[in-house]
Amino acid sequence: MSPGLEQRCAIVTGASQGLGYEIAKTYIGAGANLLICARDARVLDQAFGKLKQLVPAGQSIIAIPADVSQVRDATALVDRALTEFGRLDVIVNNAGVTGPIGPLEELDWLQWQRTIEINLMGAVWLSRAALPHFKRVRRGKIIQLSGGGATQPTPMLSAYAASKAAVVRFIETLAHETRAWHIDVNAIAPGALDTRMLNEVLAAGPEVLGQAYYDHLLQQKRSGGAPLSKAAELALFLGSARSDGITGRLISAIWDAWDELPDRIEELSVTDVYTLRRITPEDRALKWGKRR
């Protein structure tokens, strides 16, 4: 991985395993100083031990157990990064959970609510905490991990799907609010990953998920899923100066030619490409549905 974050400082949440860990590793290779966090202190410490061995002289990494769904923890992460590094350039909102699985009326409501707190409010609180600094220095990068639930229904995973759609509309809205300060806010669709979350969903079985969806996920598991490295490379691109001016977009790590976007910023800025929108009959060449 070629460098691209030299002297930059980043926070990566949910970095103890899976995609968060892969992004942290990629950021270290690109020259970043890094603060990583996760809720499980033991697993975080294990990840920190491995990542620290990759950090060359002149770079730093720190690890802090934190629950970003709590305002106090999110604020403390930003304060610690600024104290340790003297600056903050990038936040990667990766922390997330699958949430309860099953028909809505049978789910534990507290677990449903907790999924929204972690997946949505965790991103909101950390972004909110970083904004005063980003506005003061008139630059910054906010990168949000999304998922399949943002763009299509995900039966039996209603809390997960709702939270992932919500974070995309959140980043689109925040991008408009912060454009004048040259703060770029984008979301990543990482593709179908073979991670802990996939195992959790599969564990629910075909009785809960339905045979067709279960078979689809099982095939995803057997194929190995999308490479974690693809989403990590996109996270690096969006955290680097190469992506300056690209904001308010949901970009697929697998399907979109995101490395070409620096040459299309002017065109991109006046379109709704890579955004959530309502599909109308007219969009599908249908002749009905328009009030006269």
- Please say if the pLDDT value at position 159 is more than 60: yes
Question: CB neighbours of 250 closer than 8 A, spacing ≥ 6?
Answer: 146, 150, 151, 168, 171, 172, 186, 187, 188, 189, 274, 275, 276
84 and 211 share a domain? no
Is residue 133 domain-resident? yes
Kindly name the residue from 27, 160, 214, 274 that is annotated as catalytic.
160
Look at residue 193 in the predicted model and tell me its pLDDT.
62
- Distance between CA atoms of 263 and 256, rounded to whole angstroms? 14
207 and 270 share a domain? no
Is residue 87 domain-resident? yes
Q: Supply the range of the domain harboring residue 215.
A: 193-225
Task: Give buried/exposed letters for 198-224 (b at 16+ CB in 10 A, else e).
Answer: beebbebeeebbeeebbeebeebeeee
| pLDDT, average across residues 162-190 | 96
DSSP for 152-187?
A: S--TT-HHHHHHHHHHHHHHHHHHHHHGGGTEEEEE
Minimum mean pLDDT among 1-15, 227-241, 250-264: which range? Answer: 1-15
Look at residue 1 in the predicted model and tell me its pLDDT.
44
Backbone angles phi, psi at 3, to 5 degrees: -60, 160
- CA 30 remoteness from chain centre: 19
82 and 211 share a domain? no
Is residue 292 domain-resident? no
CATH of the domain at 64: 3.40.50.720
249 and 125 share a domain? yes
252 and 201 share a domain? no
pLDDT range class, residue 3, cuts 50, 70, 90: low
160 is catalytic: yes
Reading the block at residue 154, the tokens are 């995900």
Dump pLDDT digits (tens) for 46-98. 999 999 999 999 999 999 999 999 999 999 999 999 999 999 999 999 999 99
The structure's pTM equals: 0.92
